């Protein structure tokens, strides 16, 4: 019964699996290094250049091709939708484009550059060891990962040639050739398990070279690989937001319908791909690459006219709005020409965007509170997304305000206005950093399956209410440029916050003594969390203080509302 399970087969299968592992590791190393090099610019490019459907498709194609990962691009686009920074139509465009971008790897495999693989690995490792800057280290990882992709492929190719001669394998390939639907199903399951359509298509390319795989079965494997990539998104969307579910279900239905249509038109599709491959004088591996590319481009062209209807249908089938109630505002385009022509108007634009920045920071505090209660990864990811946006506000507003300050015609009052605005931008960015630290503490606990005691959560909830009110009051004072009575109330709230922090610390120690707070990780970070929350209150008070004329005496922490000169 197990006559096929001989020593040579076991060894060959083991080497194929090892080659596959190296292949996937190379893709991940290259993708992670490229993301590290690009940093937050990937999000900025996606956000900036996806104003319409066609640009969204183009951006999705390019970034997916660079990262060798459609999943990474899709995840970023979904998070931007949920944060309110991108519409569902743009996210759909990016998803469509990401499918096309994944074809780049299979095309490179079809170019037969495996003979240079070890040179890339050597060059990459050398750069990693000799590099003195992080960026050069990442470049070394890109080259190493790129080389490992083809090292893994070469390992698989050499052994698949031997396996293809085995009678049991030949029988399996004959069955798949006669029943392409089985190939579709097998590729879907394999891709869902491995979470990499690129790896599956790489294996198909090497199998096709051996002659064991028919063109029809090869095409069916491609269709199935596209369907399998949706499984991770669907699982992630089970407990996600409305926007996440809509984007994930579009991805799944789009790829599934494309696969079904491809199977119904399998014979003409195979004939057209063969004809096209002959025109470009492509080899067997290039045939699979061309089939992958042609299928994804054809699917894109077919769905483009119906994207608007798809969005409407998704809103009907998955009704409602995201229940979190979080609204994030993007930064306006800052007009440099306005600085020279009308500095006062440029300052007004800066103030308008600083107020938006403040509202985003406030929403991020609320998001961190939601993550404390829900433990959902999606809330954590959204906090990081908003933090990246706040950093963007900080960088752009700081640069814009500096250009205003360099104008020789700036009056004394305008100089004061610049200084206040600049300081408040920096303070808001500091609060956002504190929020980021809070969710990192929560995640540290949740990643180890820990929990906070109900008493600890109740204490943190009280502080959340207070610091949210303090930031609201501070930004209101900055907005109206007056409010001495409100500043006095803010001073009192800061004192309440200090007292509440001490009371919460005492409560924490009592819970530990009574063994109520028995999770070691949660217990160890509660005091740090309280400290970061108290710091948010301090910075909020300082924002209000900065609204008024800077004071010379620094020994007093609080301004006296009765002695403030308002400009």
pLDDT in tens, 19-29: 888 877 887 78
Q: What is the pLDDT of residue 1?
A: 43
Cα separation, 501 vs 536, whole angstroms: 12
Q: How many residues does the chain have?
A: 567
Query: How open is the CA angle 467-469-474, to the nearest 5 degrees?
Result: 95
Q: What is the pLDDT of residue 559?
A: 52
pLDDT class of 322 with cuts at 50, 70, 90: low
Q: What is the pLDDT of residue 499?
A: 92
Give the CB-side neighbour count of residue 214, counting CA atoms within 13 A: 19
Residue 374 in this model has a pLDDT that exceeds 80? yes
Which of 158, 174, 184, 249 is closest to 213 using CA atoms?
174
Chain-centroid distance, C-alpha 159: 37
Stretch 507-518: mean pLDDT, rounded?
83
**Structural domains in the chain plus CATH codes:** 8-317 (no CATH), 337-563 (1.20.58.220)
Residue 389 burial (10 A CB sphere; 0-12, 13-18, 19+): buried
Which of 60, 32, 30 is closest to 45 using CA atoms?
60
| Average pLDDT over the chain, rounded to an integer | 80
Phi, psi angle pair for 69, to nearest 5° = -155, 110
Q: What is the pLDDT of residue 567?
A: 44
Cα separation, 188 vs 179, whole angstroms: 15
Expressed in angstroms, the distance from the first to the final Cα of the chain is: 92
Q: What is the pLDDT of residue 327?
A: 62
DSSP 394-455: HHHHHHHHHHHHT-TT--HHHHHHHHHHHHHHHHHHHHHHHHHHHHHHHHHHHHTT----HH
Question: Comparing 78-92, 213-227, 520-534, which segment has the lowest mean pLDDT?
Answer: 78-92
Q: How far is CA 503 from CA 460, 463, 491, in A?
A: 11, 11, 19
Burial 462-488 (b: 16+ CB within 10 A, else e): ebbebbbbbbebbbbbbeeeebeebbe
Cα separation, 21 vs 495, whole angstroms: 58
The enclosing H or E element of 561 equals none
| 491 or 334, which is more confident | 491
pLDDT tens, position by position, 28-69 = 787 778 777 765 566 666 666 667 788 888 888 887 777 766
Q: How far is CA 81 from CA 135, 244, 306, in A?
A: 30, 8, 20
Alpha-carbon dihedral angle through residues 435, 436, 442, 443, given to the nearest 10 degrees: 160
| 448 or 504, which is more confident | 504
Q: What is the pLDDT of residue 562?
A: 54
Residue 227 in this model has a pLDDT that exceeds 70? yes
Secondary structure (3-state) at 35: helix
The enclosing H or E element of 103 equals helix 103-110
Helix count (H) and strand count (E) of the chain?
24, 0
Cα separation, 287 vs 274, whole angstroms: 7
pLDDT class of 377 with cuts at 50, 70, 90: confident
Secondary structure (3-state) at 18: helix
200 and 221 in contact (C-beta within 8 Å)?
yes
Q: What is the pLDDT of residue 235?
A: 63
- Scan for tokens 């001490």, then name that residue: 502
Q: Taking each helix axis as running N to C, give the angle between helix 88-101 and helix 70-82, from 0 to 180 degrees, rounded to the nearest 10.
A: 170
Q: What is the pLDDT of residue 126?
A: 93
Would the pTM count as exceeding 0.85? no
pLDDT tens, position by position, 124-172 = 999 988 888 888 898 898 899 888 888 887 787 777 767 666 676 667 6
Cα separation, 386 vs 361, whole angstroms: 8
DSSP 456-500: HHHHHHHHHHHHHHHHHHHHHHHHHT--HHHHHHHHHHHHHHHHH
Chain-centroid distance, C-alpha 130: 31
Residues 6+ apart with CB under 8 A from 331: 353, 356, 357, 389, 392, 393, 396, 397
Q: In this structure, what token pair is assigned to residue 188?
A: 């879907």
Q: Taking each helix axis as running N to C, give the angle between helix 284-303 and helix 197-210, from 0 to 180 degrees, rounded to the nearest 10.
A: 140
Residues 6+ apart with CB under 8 A from 258: 223, 226, 295, 299, 302, 303
Q: In this structure, what token pair is assigned to residue 517?
A: 């707070």
- Tally Cβ neighbours within 10 Å of residue 178: 11
295 and 222 in contact (C-beta within 8 Å)?
yes
- Scan for tokens 């301090």, then name that residue: 538
Residues 6+ apart with CB under 8 A from 454: none
Q: What is the pLDDT of residue 29?
A: 84
Stretch 300-319: mean pLDDT, rounded?
84
425 and 354 in contact (C-beta within 8 Å)?
yes
């Amino acid at each position: 019964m197990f006559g096929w399970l001989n020593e040579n087969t076991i060894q060959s299968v083991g080497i194929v699996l090892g080659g596959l592992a190296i292949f996937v590791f190379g893709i991940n190393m290259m993708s992670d290094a490229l993301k590290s090099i690009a940093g937050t610019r990937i999000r900025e490019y996606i956000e900036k250049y996806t104003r319409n459907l066609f640009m969204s498709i183009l951006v999705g194609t390019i970034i997916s091709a660079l990262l060798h990962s459609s999943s990474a691009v899709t995840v970023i686009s979904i998070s931007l939708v949920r944060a309110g920074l991108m519409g569902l139509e743009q996210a759909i465009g990016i998803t469509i484009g990401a499918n096309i971008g994944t074809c780049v790897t299979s095309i490179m495999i079809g170019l037969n550059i495996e003979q240079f693989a070890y040179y890339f690995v050597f060059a990459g490792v050398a750069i990693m060891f000799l590099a003195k800057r992080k960026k050069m280290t990442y470049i070394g990882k890109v080259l190493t990962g790129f080389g490992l992709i083809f090292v893994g492929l070469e390992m698989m190719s050499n052994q698949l040639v031997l396996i293809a001669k085995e009678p049991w394998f030949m029988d399996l390939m004959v069955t798949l050739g006669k029943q392409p639907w089985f190939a579709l199903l097998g590729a879907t399951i394999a891709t869902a398990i491995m979470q990499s359509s690129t790896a599956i298509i790489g294996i198909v390319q090497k199998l096709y070279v051996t002659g064991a795989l028919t063109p029809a079965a090869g095409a069916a494997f491609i269709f199935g690989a596209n369907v399998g990539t949706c499984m991770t998104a669907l699982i992630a969307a089970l407990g996600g937001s409305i926007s996440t579910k809509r984007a994930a279900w579009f991805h799944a239905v789009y790829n599934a319908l494309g696969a079904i249509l491809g199977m119904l038109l399998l014979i003409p599709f195979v004939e057209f791909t063969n004809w096209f491959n002959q025109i470009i004088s492509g080899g067997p591996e290039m045939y699979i690459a061309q089939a992958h590319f042609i299928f994804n481009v054809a699917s894109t062209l077919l769905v483009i006219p119906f994207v608007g209807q798809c969005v409407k249908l998704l809103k009907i089938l998955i009704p409602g709005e995201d229940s979190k109630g979080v609204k994030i505002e993007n930064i306006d385009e800052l007009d440099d020409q306005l600085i020279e022509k009308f500095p006062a108007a440029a300052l007004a634009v800066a103030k308008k965007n600083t107020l938006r920045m403040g509202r985003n920071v406030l929403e991020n505090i609320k998001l961190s509170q939601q993550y404390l209660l829900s433990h959902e990864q999606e809330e954590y990811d959204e906090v990081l997304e908003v933090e990246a946006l706040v950093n963007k506000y900080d960088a752009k507003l700081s640069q814009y305000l500096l250009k205003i300050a360099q104008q020789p015609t700036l009056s004394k009052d305008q100089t004061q206005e610049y200084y206040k605005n600049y300081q408040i931008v920096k303070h808001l960015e500091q609060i956002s950093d504190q929020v980021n630290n809070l969710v990192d503490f929560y995640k540290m606990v949740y990643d180890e399956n820990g929990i906070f005691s109900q008493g600890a959560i109740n204490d943190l909830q009280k502080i959340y209410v207070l610091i949210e009110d303090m930031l609201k009051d501070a930004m209101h004072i900055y907005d109206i440029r007056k409010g001495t009575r409100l500043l006095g109330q803010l001073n009192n709230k800061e004192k309440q916050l200090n007292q509440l922090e001490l009371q919460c610390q005492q409560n924490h120690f009592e819970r530990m003594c009574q063994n109520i707070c028995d999770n070691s990780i949660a217990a160890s970070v509660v005091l740090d969390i309280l400290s970061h929350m108290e710091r948010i209150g301090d910075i909020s008070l300082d924002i209000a203080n900065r609204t008024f004329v800077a004071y010379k005496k620094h020994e007093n922490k609080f301004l006296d509302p009765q002695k403030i000169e308002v400009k």
